[in-house]
Every structure is written in structure tokens, then in C-alpha cells.
């Protein structure tokens, strides 16, 4: 029987509302008092049989008692605010016991909001402030440095690479020979996509970094797998379930299947003319509809294959006369982004990720769903994970993680890979949001650059990611 997660949703809403009211009116205001009492009740209800409530941020996703909270349940504003505030303060977990009282939560909320983030060790100072205020029933734990441990990072990267290659092999098998008629190969591809979904949910950053391979191989299977990754990013931000993400991943993976199928040859004996590229959506959809009779999860793949070139305003092809499905609109954004940033050779990249997003922005509302595109940009950042940038210091760096505060998309965490003098010199992760007292020594992004300007070959670039 499915567990009732309504108490978790109520807790998130109550915590968000309380912090906002205390921020606006202070702890002593009547509205703040009502919110604090409501939050106290929500903690007791959410703790249930588990005996406590643990509010955490894993990656960039808010969790309550280990369960990721979805946008569809809690709203984008609450989840974005809470996860960003946890990250900015370096908090891993806040544990609340059912014995906590409104006054305890008032002390915590006040100390939390008044914390000077320019000073070192905010978690230790927050813990001290709560203790001095007499707050009980609250435990605050700092974010572990474990994710940046080189050994663990390498293990996660290896896992992501293994999953990526597994998906690549499975998709190649489907595209070869009579692959679409082989149910075993189809099942293998579905499992590979689900494994990619699970890895993505576990460590989004590692999977997104692998998608940077896209810039150096435009073969259909690389392109399609990277479209799958970018589509999962949008779906995850929409709060899709694991099963829905699996269906979206399949739809993205097979969206260009029609390009592998030649139209029937003419009976005249004349050499066949190159197929009209505008017909590949219908060819792919027909193939996938046949498979959908055996597995309903492929139905959305057929829809996306048919509609992914139908624009948000109804233009494009084929002429359907109706608005494209949500999955098709997601795949259209991911497909265009991957196409713009791909190349035939390592030294011939069409657009940097920054340039591609800037170009696509001008088409939001006509070619692309503007809300989904905004979600995509907020999720991937204007400097996506794995992209190469030049800093104002003259150094070259690879974007390692998105910004701690999602409102500052131009301040991601980066790893310097080359000095201004040209020396390859890998560094620890640097948060560009952290400003030096001396403005002249503060690092900022000067611009995005193509990898071949720094690395001699694709292997060197991928190794640095």
C-alpha cells in the first residue's frame, strides 16, 4: 500500500511559509506566531512512526525523511527557496523531533535568517545561536565534504560512465539490423534507460557532465542518448515520478528512430531518391506504435517521434492541427539544444552551450514552450556542467556544479584546469559566488569557449570533466 505523503507536503509548505513570514515581520508578529504553531503541528504529523523529521538537500533536491519532494506536490518556489537556503548555509540535515515547540522553532527560524553568510562556518554559528536561545528538539548537521572526495567522485563518475555506455550499446543494438523487431533488444534498451534514470536521480551532476561528449560526435546514438539526458533534466524539475521519467527517457531516446528507416523503394527500378527529412517523424512513429502494442511505455515514444518537430505555435512539421504533447515539447527543447551544440569534428563545434541557449531564448514562445524552456535554463544554467569557460583571471575552468543559489546562474562552481600561462593544473572546486575582499582577485566568468581552444583532443577534455 502506498504511503500517504501529504504530511510531508504540508511540512514543506509550513516551513516555507514560516521562514517567509518571520523574514518579513519578525518572530514576535501574530502572523509569525500562527505560522510557527502550524509548523509545530506539521512536524508532529510528519514525524509519525519514524519519530523525527529529517529535512535534507541531496544534490540540489529537497528531501523529507529520505523522500525527494516534487515540484508538482510542493511548488517550484518553496522547493527552490528551501534547497538554496540549505545549500548556502552548508546544511546537510535539519532533524526535528515531535517534542519541538513553537518557541524552539522561532529561535531556529530567527537564527537561520539572521545568519551572516559572509563569515566562516555558518553551521557551527547556527548551532551555537540555537543553543544560546534555548532551542530544543532540533539537530543541525553540516554538509559532508564526502561528495568532493576524489575517490568517491571517481567512483560516481565511473558509475555514470558505465550507465551511459550501457545505454549507448543497447541503443546501437536496436538500430542495427532487425533490432526493432527483437523484443529482447527493446527490453534491454528500456532497462538501460531506467538505469540511466536511477543514476541521474542519484547523481545528476555526473550524468550531465557525460553529456558534454555530445560536442564531438553527431552519430545518431550519441545524439539521442544526450537528448535523453537533457529531457530527464526537464522532467525531473517538473516533479515527474521514476516511472514517468523512464517513459520520457524512452521517448527522447527513440525520437529520431525514423531517420534509420528508409522509405519503401520504387518499383520502377530507378535509383531511390534521398528521403525527405520531413517524413522521418511519421516513419519513426509507425515503428514505435507497433512496439507500443507490446509495451504501453512505448506509446509516448511514438507520440514524441511524430511531434518533436511540431513547434509550440503550431508551425513546423508534420501539420498536426493540434498542440504537441508535453513529452514532445520537452524532447523538442532537448533535441534542438543538442543539435546546436554538436559537431562533426572535435574542432568544429557549432555553438557553445551559452550561445545555444541565447539563440533558443529568442524562439521561446514560438518554437518552444516558454515555461519549459525557462525551466530548462534554470536547471542546466547558462554555463552547464561540463562546459568550458575562461575566467577574468585568465585561467580556464570546467563547470563542475551549478550555482549554490539558482538565482545567480552566472556563478557556478568551477574547477580550474589550465592557468593563464597555459599550464594544465587541475584544482579543487571553486565557488564563483564567493567574492574576495580584493575585487581585483575575485574570479568571474569572462565567457564560454570551445574545448579545442584548451585541449588538444577529445580524450584530454573528457578526462578533465
Bin 108: left if φ > 0, else alpha if -120 < ψ < 50, else beta: alpha
Encode pLDDT of 253-271 as tens digits. Answer: 888 888 876 655 555 555 5
143-150 CB contacts, 8 Å cutoff, 24+ apart: 143/57, 143/87, 143/90, 143/91, 143/92, 144/92, 148/428, 148/429
pTM for this structure? Answer: 0.65
* pLDDT at 6 exceeding the cut of 50: yes
Among 95-109, 150-164, 236-250, whose mean pLDDT is lowest?
150-164
Higher confidence at residue 462 or residue 31? 31
Rounded to an integer, the average pLDDT of 111-129 is 89
**Residues in the chain, overall count:** 465
- Torsion sign, CA atoms 205, 239, 66, 109: positive
For every residue of 218-260, DSSP letters joined together read: --HHHHHHHHHHHHHHHHHHTT--HHHHHHHHHHHHTTTGGGG
Encode pLDDT of 323-352 as tens digits. Answer: 999 999 999 999 999 888 876 544 455 677
The domains located in the chain, with CATH, are 6-144 (no CATH), 148-264+275-380 (1.10.3210.10), 388-464 (no CATH)
Indicate the SS3 state at residue 313: coil
Higher confidence at residue 348 or residue 64? 64
What is the C-alpha R_g of the chain? 24
Task: Say which residue the cell 512505448 belongs to.
Answer: 298
Higher confidence at residue 11 or residue 404? 11
CB 303 within 8 A of CB 328: yes
Higher confidence at residue 336 or residue 60? 336
* CB within 8 Å of 340: residues ≥ 6 apart: 350, 351, 355, 356, 359, 360
Amino acid at each position: 500500500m502506498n504511503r500517504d505523503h501529504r504530511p510531508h507536503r504540508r511540512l514543506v509548505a509550513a516551513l516555507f511559509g514560516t521562514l517567509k513570514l518571520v523574514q518579513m515581520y519578525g518572530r514576535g508578529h501574530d502572523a509569525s506566531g500562527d505560522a510557527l504553531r502550524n509548523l509545530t503541528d506539521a512536524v508532529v504529523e510528519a514525524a509519525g512512526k519514524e519519530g523525527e523529521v529529517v529535512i535534507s538537500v541531496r544534490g540540489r533536491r529537497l528531501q523529507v525523511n529520505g523522500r525527494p519532494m516534487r515540484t508538482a506536490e510542493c511548488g517550484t518556489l518553496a522547493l527552490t527557496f528551501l534547497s538554496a537556503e540549505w545549500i548556502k548555509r552548508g546544511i546537510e540535515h535539519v532533524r526535528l523531533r515531535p517534542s519541538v515547540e513553537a518557541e524552539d522553532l522561532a529561535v531556529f527560524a530567527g537564527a537561520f535568517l539572521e545568519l551572516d553568510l559572509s563569515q566562516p562556518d555558518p553551521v557551527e554559528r547556527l548551532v551555537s545561536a540555537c543553543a544560546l536561545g534555548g532551542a530544543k528538539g532540533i539537530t543541525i548537521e553540516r554538509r559532508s565534504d564526502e561528495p568532493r572526495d576524489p575517490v568517491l567522485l571517481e567512483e560516481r563518475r565511473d558509475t555514470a560512465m558505465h550507465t551511459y555506455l550501457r545505454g549507448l550499446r543497447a541503443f546501437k543494438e536496436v538500430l542495427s539490423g532487425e533490432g526493432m523487431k527483437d523484443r529482447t533488444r527493446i527490453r534491454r534498451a528500456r532497462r538501460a534507460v531506467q538505469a540511466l534514470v536511477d543514476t541521474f536521480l542519484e547523481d545528476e551532476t555526473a550524468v550531465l557532465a557525460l553529456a558534454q561528449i555530445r560536442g564531438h560526435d553527431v552519430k545518431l546514438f550519441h545524439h539521442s542518448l544526450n537528448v535523453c539526458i537533457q529531457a530527464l533534466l526537464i522532467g525531473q524539475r517538473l516533479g515527474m515520478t521514476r516511472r514517468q521519467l523512464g517513459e520520457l527517457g524512452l521517448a527522447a531516446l527513440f525520437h529520431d528512430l525514423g531517420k534509420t528507416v528508409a522509405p519503401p523503394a520504387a518499383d520502377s527500378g530507378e535509383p531511390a531518391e534521398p528521403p525527405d527529412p520531413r517524413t522521418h517523424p511519421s516513419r519513426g512513429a509507425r515503428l514505435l506504435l507497433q512496439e507500443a502494442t507490446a509495451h504501453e511505455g512505448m506509446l509516448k515514444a511514438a507520440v514524441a517521434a511524430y511531434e518533436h518537430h511540431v513547434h509550440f505555435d503550431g508551425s513546423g512539421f508534420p501539420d498536426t492541427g493540434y498542440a504537441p504533447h508535453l513529452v514532445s515539447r520537452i524532447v523538442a527543447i532537448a533535441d534542438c539544444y543538442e543539435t546546436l551544440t554538436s559537431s562533426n569534428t572535435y574542432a568544429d563545434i557549432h555553438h557553445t552551450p551559452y550561445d545555444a541557449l541565447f539563440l533558443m531564448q529568442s524562439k521561446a514562445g514560438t518554437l518552444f514552450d516558454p515555461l519549459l524552456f525557462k525551466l530548462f535554463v534554470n536547471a542546466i544554467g547558462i554555463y552547464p556542467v561540463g562546459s568550458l569557460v575562461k575566467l577574468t583571471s585568465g585561467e580556464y575552468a570546467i563547470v563542475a556544479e551549478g550555482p549554490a543559489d539558482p538565482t545567480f546562474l552566472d556563478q557556478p562552481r568551477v574547477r580550474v584546469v589550465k592557468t593563464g600561462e597555459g599550464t594544465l593544473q587541475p584544482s579543487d572546486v571553486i565557488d564563483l559566488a564567493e567574492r574576495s575582499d580584493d575585487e581585483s582577485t575575485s574570479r568571474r566568468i569572462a565567457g564560454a569557449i570551445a574545448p579545442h581552444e584548451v585541449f588538444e583532443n577529445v580524450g584530454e577534455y573528457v578526462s578533465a570533466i
